[in-house]
């Protein structure tokens, strides 16, 4: 059958790419590290230091997930080749759509695993702290933040990631004025760093009786949840600490007392907030951790700009630095202005279908870095 010939040719073409992927993933070294960590876990004093043991367990899980993902790919390839041979032997046309579906899944899984090899940044494996803030536009922008919040929530759920609200402020009329959440899962920061910047929405306003087209803006900030102690000194006179009452709309785990903490780093104007923890002390501790992570990223960005000499190319995080537009009317289109990745289905994107945009960004960023190194 012609279809089976095409499928056989297609799956056969993955022999070399799979070998290259295995090398890119460093599977042999990962297996050696797995053996080392499992040996550590057998030590009688392994659980004496709970924090250290948790780091070991997390690293072990991440390594095993990569190895198992590659092994699953190999099994999928073997299953497809077996099904193709069965199709030839039985001359059963009903096997064609089944093999086609298996091949499509294999190609998607292969691409996702290949993309993961681009996540080589120092903190790409860490959990992510994502903050959304409404821009100019009042209620419109607050509603836009609530749509983005839902989008990232849906994306995280599809990935099997956990979401925890750290800070939440309602809009005055509708929507969300600002929200900060911790998204926990393997490579969460590595994926979500692509979302940092200004997101623009164009639609017919549901809040405007005249039905006029409205443009709204919201900013998205991303930083890794760095749990190790970051070597950054912050003097007491460099920060201002304010307490406030949490809004309570972020869910049942939001503490509804005056224990919420806002810390402002005066030299840089950096602001972090936390209201989710059970006490003011815990909120302050988490906020300081977030502040150190932000200041660390600022220093790293300054180093990059100095080394690469591209200071003029770095985006100013103002309302003009739009990374992506979501147009709902008069036509439907989502476009990333950095990579030119597009989708004609905004509904799917706003329902969490972000992987194409994230993958395009990672490829674009990797290509950009390669050119700079050359």
User: For the chain, where are the alpha helices, taking DSSP H only?
Assistant: 2-12, 15-25, 27-41, 50-90, 95-116, 139-159, 188-192, 280-308, 346-350, 355-373
Could you tell me if 85 and 182 lie in one domain? no
Could you tell me if 156 and 266 lie in one domain? no
Give the pLDDT confidence of 86-134 residue by residue, as tens digits.
Answer: 999 988 888 899 999 999 999 999 998 999 888 878 889 899 999 999 9
Could you tell me if 10 and 114 lie in one domain? yes
Q: Considering only CA atoms, which of 232, 225, 222, 226 is closest in space to residue 194?
A: 222
pLDDT for res 34 = 96
pLDDT for res 192 = 97
Give the pLDDT confidence of 285-336 residue by residue, as tens digits.
Answer: 888 988 988 888 888 777 766 655 433 333 443 455 799 999 999 899 999 9
Parent domain of 277: 236-308
Domain termination residue (choose one: 273, 308, 343) = 308
Could you tell me if 152 and 58 lie in one domain? no
Could you tell me if 224 and 269 lie in one domain? no
Residue 253: band (very low, low, confident or very high) from pLDDT cuts 50, 70, 90 = very low
Report the pLDDT averaged over residues 250-260: 56
Domain termination residue (choose one: 282, 308, 334) = 308
pLDDT for res 39 = 95
pLDDT for res 60 = 93
Could you tell me if 333 and 219 lie in one domain? yes
- Work out the mean pLDDT of the chain and round it to a whole number: 88
How far apart are alpha carbons 197 and 322 in whole angstroms? 6
pTM for the whole thing? Answer: 0.76
Q: Residue 31 belongs to a domain with what CATH number?
A: 1.20.58.410
What three-state secondary structure class fits 11? helix
Could you tell me if 210 and 263 lie in one domain? no
Report the pLDDT averaged over residues 44-61: 90
Structure token digits, residue 133:
């803030």
pLDDT for res 147 = 98
Residue 368: band (very low, low, confident or very high) from pLDDT cuts 50, 70, 90 = confident
**Residue 368 falls inside a structural domain:** yes
223 DSSP β-pair partners? 129
pLDDT for res 196 = 94
Answer yes or no: is pLDDT of 168 > 50.
yes
Q: Considering only CA atoms, which of 220, 235, 241, 230 is closest in space to residue 296?
A: 230
Answer yes or no: is pLDDT of 363 > 70.
yes
pLDDT for res 93 = 83
Percent residues over pLDDT 70 in the chain: 90
Could you tell me if 301 and 336 lie in one domain? no
Give the pLDDT confidence of 173-228 residue by residue, as tens digits.
Answer: 889 999 999 999 989 999 999 999 999 999 998 887 777 889 999 999 999 998 76
Structure token digits, residue 95:
């096997």
Q: Residue 260 belongs to a domain with what CATH number?
A: 3.30.160.20
**Residue 123 falls inside a structural domain:** no
Number of domains in the chain: 3
Beta carbons within 10 angstroms of residue 99's beta carbon:
22
pLDDT for res 280 = 86
Residue listed under structure tokens 């030590």? 43
């Amino acid at each position: 059958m012609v279809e089976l010939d095409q499928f056989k040719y297609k799956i056969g073409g993955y022999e070399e790419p799979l070998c290259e992927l295995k090398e890119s993933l460093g599977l042999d070294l990962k297996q050696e590290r797995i053996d080392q960590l499992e040996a550590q876990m057998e030590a009688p004093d392994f659980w004496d230091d709970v924090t250290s043991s948790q780091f070991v367990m997390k690293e072990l899980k991440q390594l095993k997930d990569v190895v198992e993902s590659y092994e699953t790919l190999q099994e999928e390839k073997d299953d497809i080749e077996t099904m193709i041979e069965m199709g030839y032997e039985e001359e059963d046309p009903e096997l064609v759509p089944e093999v086609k579906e298996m091949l499509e899944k294999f190609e998607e899984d292969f691409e996702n695993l290949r993309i993961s090899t681009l996540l080589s940044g120092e903190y790409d494996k860490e959990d992510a702290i994502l903050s959304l803030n409404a821009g100019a536009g009042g209620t419109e922008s607050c509603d836009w933040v609530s749509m983005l919040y839902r989008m990232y929530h849906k994306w995280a759920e599809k990935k099997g990631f956990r979401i925890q609200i750290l800070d939440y402020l309602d809009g005055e009329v509708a929507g969300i004025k600002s929200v900060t959440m911790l998204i926990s899962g393997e490579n969460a920061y590595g994926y979500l760093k692509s979302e940092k910047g200004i997101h623009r929405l164009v639609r017919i306003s549901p809040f405007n009786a005249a039905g006029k087209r409205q443009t709204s803006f919201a900013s998205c900030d991303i930083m890794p949840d760095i749990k190790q102690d970051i070597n950054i000194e912050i003097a007491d006179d460099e920060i201002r600490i304010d307490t406030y009452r949490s809004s309570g709309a972020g869910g049942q785990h939001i503490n509804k007392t005056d224990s919420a903490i806002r810390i402002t780093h005066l030299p840089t104007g950096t602001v972090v907030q936390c209201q989710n923890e059970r006490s003011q002390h815990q909120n302050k501790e988490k906020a300081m951790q977030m502040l150190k992570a932000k200041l660390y990223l600022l220093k790293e960005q300054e180093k990059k700009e100095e080394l690469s000499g591209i200071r003029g190319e770095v985006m100013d995080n103002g309302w003009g630095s739009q990374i992506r537009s979501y147009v709902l009317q008069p036509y439907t289109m989502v476009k990333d202005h950095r990579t030119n990745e597009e989708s004609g289905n905004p509904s799917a994107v706003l329902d969490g279908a972000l992987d194409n945009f994230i993958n395009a960004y990672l490829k674009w960023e990797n290509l950009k870095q390669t050119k700079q190194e050359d």
